[in-house]
Amino acid sequence: MQVSIVAERVDVVIGVDTHKHTHTAALVLANGGIHQTLTVPTNPDGYTTLFNTVVEVGERRVWSIEGCGSWGRGLTRWLVERGEQVNEIERPKRPKRRMGAKNDTIDAVRAAREALILERINSPRATGRRDAIAAALLARQSAIQAGTDSERQLCALANTAPEVLAHKLRGHTTRSIVTTCARWRIDHHHDPDIASIAATMRILARRVLVLRAEAAELERTITAHIKTWRPDLLDVFGVGPIVAAMLLIVWSHPGRIHSPAAFAKLAGSAPIEASTGLSDRHRLSRYGDRQLNRAITTVTLTRIQHDTRTKTYIERRRQQGKHYRDIRRCLKNYIARELFNILETGLDAT
């Protein structure tokens, strides 16, 4: 069965190059000709001006927007609320152009013409609870990273502090160092420099505790969202609230990713041929969404360590002469497909 491309189903494609303060749009006809270009501000008035211009060109239309998850989020949300069909297009990795052949209009036209040859529309990620989970996960990752940096800084000071301070921390674990320094009372009878170092270490330790509390609170928020939206994910072996959040943020809603194979490819878990000469082998993709890849890897490692069925499978494949690297690649691909089917069908994929 022959599948039609977008150019055969629409009158006009609106390519949009998004920025913080303005969006540049190019109205490209189905034959690839440029009908009109315009630039509007990134506010409801600008969106209305752009929409009213587009409506006059044709009823059958598709919007092809760069940066649907960043600068184009406001326009995308505004259009989806009005029932418009939106195609999400990735920003290209543009090479350096020595001759200066680059501007917003060129990028908008490119976005539209790339959409014309597509067979299916790449719908943007959903809003609502997905955005709430994404915001909480981002803040949690930031708190964990900042807390880890502060821990390293504190441990470095513990190793280089004057002996009057260092002897109190020597041999302690990182957690114990943080707890001890956070409770320090500054003895101002000490040398002023030593007192200053002690005060600095106390500030770092208390910062770590605050960031740990923030991360824990955000994890509780994420868990509450998961239990309300898709509690079935938490019943899957190896999937906790953070992994479930990573999966839902990328998956977003039913139908956005068209097949298990596409999901595995997006996760960087699809096999890529890496044969040369007489060898015949495959490797994992290094592309795709790295957070989703991290989630799949976490589930895979958890099952390798704790799941009886997975251990049995690994042993059987080893007896067949398979290398552990190949076995793990197969497991990641299988788990990615399994999780996709659960996302699409579980709880009616609400």
- Res. 90 pLDDT band, cuts 50 70 90: confident
Average pLDDT of 96-122? 80
pLDDT of residue 219: 97
Characterize 282-315 residue by residue with b for buried, 16 or more Cβ atoms within 10 angstroms of its Cβ, and e for exposed.
eebeeebbeebbebbbbbbebbbeebeebeebbe
Distance between start and end Cα atoms, the chain: 31
- Any idea which of 36-50, 265-279, 327-341 has the lowest mean pLDDT? 265-279
- Res. 129 pLDDT band, cuts 50 70 90: very high
pLDDT of residue 315: 94
pLDDT of residue 228: 95
- Res. 3 pLDDT band, cuts 50 70 90: low
More confident position, 78 or 272: 78
The yes-or-no verdict on residue 19 having pLDDT over 50 is yes
- pLDDT tens digits, 174-214: 999 999 999 998 876 678 899 999 999 999 999 999 999 99
Nearest CA to 40 among 23, 65, 57?
23
Nearest CA to 53 among 16, 83, 9?
16
Average pLDDT of 71-90? 90
The values of phi and psi at residue 259, to 5°, are -160, 160
The residue written with tokens 């995308």 in the block is 76
The yes-or-no verdict on residue 134 having pLDDT over 60 is yes
Q: Compute the mean pLDDT over every residue in the chain, rounded to the nearest whole number.
A: 89
pLDDT of residue 271: 74
The yes-or-no verdict on residue 1 having pLDDT over 50 is no
Structural element, H or E, at residue 347: none
The pair of structure tokens assigned to 174 is 């990182």
- Res. 281 pLDDT band, cuts 50 70 90: low
* Sign of the Cα pseudo-torsion (146, 141, 227, 69, in order): positive
SS3 content of the chain, % helix, strand, coil (to 5): 55, 10, 30
Report which residue type is found at 138.
Answer: L
Average pLDDT of 307-327? 92
3-state secondary structure 278-333: CCCCEEECCCCCHHHHHHHHHHHHHHHHHCHHHHHHHHHHHHCCCCHHHHHHHHHH
Percent of the chain surpassing pLDDT 70: 90
- pLDDT tens digits, 144-162: 999 999 999 999 999 999 9
Contact 268, 288 (CB under 8 A): yes
Q: Which residues contact 202 (CB under 8 A, 6 or more apart)?
A: 181, 182, 184, 186
More confident position, 154 or 269: 154
- 284 DSSP β-pair partners: 271
The yes-or-no verdict on residue 14 having pLDDT over 60 is yes
Average pLDDT of 80-85? 91
Query: In this structure, how many other beta carbons lie within 10 angstroms of the beta carbon of residue 348?
Result: 6
pLDDT of residue 123: 85
Q: Which of 48-62, 88-102, 209-223 has the highest mean pLDDT?
A: 209-223
Contact 146, 212 (CB under 8 A): no
Kindly give the pairing relationship between strand 12-18 and strand 86-89: unpaired
